[in-house]
Amino acid sequence: MSKSDIQWSTGEEDTINAVLRRAVAQHGDKQYMDFLGATCSYQDMDTAACRLANGLSQLGISKGQTVVTLLDNSADAVFLWLAINKLGAISVPVNTALKGDFLRHQVSDADATIIIAESDYAERVTAIADKLPKLQTLVYRNERPAVELHGEQRMLPWSEILSSDSSDQDVDVAPSDLAMLIYTGGTTGPSKGCMISHNYACSLARQMLIITNRNEDTITWTSLPLFHFNAVATTCLANMMVGAQVAIYPRFSVSNFWPEIERTGANETQLLASMMPMLASAPDNDAMKRCYGQLKAVWGAPFPESVQEAWKTRFGAEHTVCGGFGLSECSLPSILPFGTLQKPGSSGLRNTEFFDVRIVDDNDKELPANTPGEIIIRPRKPHVMFEGYWRRPEDTLKVMRNMWFHTGDIGKFDEDDYFYFVDRKKDYLRRRGENISSFEVEHAFLQHDAVDEVAAHAVLSDLGEDELKVTITLKEGMQIGEEALCRWSADHMPYYAVPRYIEFRSALPKSPLGRVYKFELRDDGVTLSTWDREKAGFTLAKR
């Protein structure tokens, strides 16, 4: 299949529902998914999605309504995503690490009346249910939670949404209709829901096929969470378009990686930045040796040259590629078509087919090649980027200055139109695949009685990405140790937002107007007074 066929075989606009219908018609009995050894065909997947769609319909879910999910990776999570879209409803997959006010904000902001969650996550919902006045129904998967809801809110088992009716829903869904809300890190305020249309999801999937050249023989292994846009669009949906298989694993594990690759027969994988050096430096095991050369391609960004070389020589991978640069609001403004030369340090070429991408100064004046500036983007085709921020028109307008989407990120193009990411203009952090809101981290720490002021900021780690540090001043007369404060934060925040580093100071560096100079704190990095969670042996549970 040529790149031209991939892009336009289904027309310039598409829906997730139409992709599924075509896949079932063309590949019905072929295996689509493997999850821990349990497999399903394309037809099996569609049948399960239809049963769930009918069950949700009986609960009152209809076109345009939001459905929040807190689900671990599983076949059910894929079926439910498709079921929600069959109804023309909007899937809101929430990070399973969320708890407390982090969780309350996203559920409340999504305006959802129904939440579907794993049993242990359902208990987190019950803890904040009195702050969710629109919540009507909480559906739990597996065992019934030990705690109950109160008032008119009801709790139902998964079986209540698994209807015996497997007929397909006849809902008119357009490419421009919303398919998902994906919440951003909320770096300058509370997290915001990116409105993802059906066509945007399909457009990203088609672009991934241009990068990977997948076909009916491809088996893609992923442990990336299904509550991220990445795994849903670039693995599940993309593979559906060409009759390929997916092997989904609950969560990343260095020790289980090669045994899973061997068991599933996977010939390619998608990884996050921190996973690549972890695997490249891990000890040999028998499964790894038996799998030499089995993985033909490894996709991820960033993918440093030294790590790429390690994957080629040690594991026999033919393609070790950073295929492009993207963000939830717009993907992919840079892209590396399969077989195209990758320059060291680059993240693909300017994507002129789908987007108009420029590098500009603070006045939106375009800059010459090899000059860093802010990345701004606008679409060349309908509905190939986000539709704005959910219920936040003012925030949408802020990033659409001069009719361009301003990413807040710094990059550059060279004279051959290769793209290089330089830095983040926004005040946010990224750690092991998670965008972390400094605003929300700071808000959480300020709930502690001893904390007076706090600044959450990045410290570069030895894995080449951000580690989170909080620099704190305590209230007069109050005392608390770093480990005790870290333990408190682990009880009140998602695990990925718990800082690795904590430092107490008598004052934070500030401008004359009282703004904290975070750049000074970032430059200071890890000082002699900084407490390190990992060196202290403090272990976090990833739940």
**Residue-by-residue DSSP string for 352-363:** TTTEEEEEE-TT
Domain of 403: which CATH number? Answer: 2.30.38.10
The H or E element containing residue 142 is: none
- Helical packing angle, 100-110 and 119-128, nearest 10°: 80
Q: Give residue 510's pLDDT.
A: 81
- Judge whether residue 188 has pLDDT over 70: no
| Residue type for position 211 | I
Segment among 7-21, 266-280, 313-327 with least mean pLDDT: 7-21
**What is the value of pTM for the model shown?**
0.83
Q: What is the pLDDT of residues 62-95, one digit of tens each?
A: 999 999 999 999 999 999 999 999 999 999 999 9
pLDDT at 240 over 60: yes
Q: Are residues 49 and 188 both part of a single domain? A: yes
Establish how many alpha carbons lie within 13 A of residue 256's alpha carbon, considering only the half-sphere containing its beta carbon. 12
Mark whether 123 and 52 lie in a shared domain: yes
DSSP states of 155-194 as a string?
A: EEEGGGG--S--PPP-----TTSEEEEEE---TTSS--EE
Rounded-to-integer distance, Cα 341 and Cα 338, Å: 9
Lowest mean pLDDT among 116-125, 236-245, 262-271, 442-451: 442-451
416 shares its domain with 444:
no
**pLDDT, position 75:** 98
Return the minimum-mean-pLDDT range out of 330-339, 343-352, 416-425. 416-425
- Helices marked H in 111-169: 119-128
Strand 137-141, strand 90-93: pairing: unpaired
Please, is 493 exposed, middle or buried when counting C-beta atoms within 10 Å of its C-beta (0-12, 13-18, 19+)?
Answer: buried
155 pLDDT above the threshold of 50: yes
Backbone angles phi, psi at 70, to 5 degrees: -125, 85
Q: Cα separations (Å) of 63 from 57, 79, 200, 359?
A: 10, 18, 18, 39
Give the chain's length: 543
pLDDT computed for residue 478 by the predictor:
93
- Which has more pLDDT, 440 or 221? 221
pLDDT tens string 460-473: 776 667 789 999 99
Last residue of a domain, one of 424, 457, 487: 424
pLDDT tens track for 427-457:
556 677 776 777 778 888 988 999 999 999 9
The span from the CA of 215 to the CA of 245, in Å, is 9
Asked whether residue 305 is domain-assigned, the answer is: no
Same domain, 188 and 60: yes
Portion of the chain with pLDDT greater than 90, in percent: 75
Same domain, 403 and 435: no
Residue 34 lies in a domain: no
Establish if 419 belongs to a structural domain.
Answer: yes
* Statement to judge: residues 350 and 459 lie in one domain: no
Per mean pLDDT, which range of 274-283, 438-447, 498-507 is the poorest?
A: 438-447
Crossing angle, helix 42-58 and helix 75-86, to 10 degrees?
60
Over 50: is that where the pLDDT of 2 sits?
no
- pLDDT for position 151: 83
In a domain, 235, yes or no: no
53 in the same domain as 188? yes
Q: What is the mean pLDDT of residues 110-121?
A: 96
What pLDDT score does 469 carry? Answer: 94
Specify whether 413 is located in the same domain as 439: no
Q: What is the pLDDT of residue 442?
A: 87
Residue 167 in domain:
yes
For residue 360, what are the domain limits? 325-424
CA distances to 113, 274, 404 from 278, in Å: 41, 7, 38
Residues 527 and 399 in one domain: no
| pLDDT value of residue 157 | 96
Asked if the structure places residue 514 within a domain, the reply is yes
Tell me if 255 is assigned to some domain.
no
* Same domain? 73 vs 191: yes
The whole-chain average pLDDT of the chain stands at: 91
Q: Which of 162, 178, 197 is the last residue of a domain?
A: 197
**How many other β-carbons are positioned within 10 Å of the β-carbon of residue 483?**
14
Total number of domains in the chain: 3
How far apart CA 452 and CA 99 sit, in angstroms, is 23
Is 438 part of any domain?
A: yes
The pLDDT of residue 328 is above 90: yes
The answer on pLDDT for 540 being more than 90 is no
- Cis status of the peptide bond prior to 190, with omega within 30 of 0: no
Choose among 111, 39, 53: nearest CA to 82. Answer: 53
- E strand segments, 254-311: 268-270, 297-299
| Residues 456 and 420 grouped into a single domain | no
My answer on whether 387 and 516 are in the same domain is no
DSSP character at residue 283: P
The separation between CA 40 and the C-alpha centre of its own chain, rounded to angstroms, equals: 25
Q: Are strands 178-183 and 193-197 parallel, antiparallel or unpaired?
A: antiparallel
HSE of 17, CA atoms in CB hemisphere, 13 A: 23
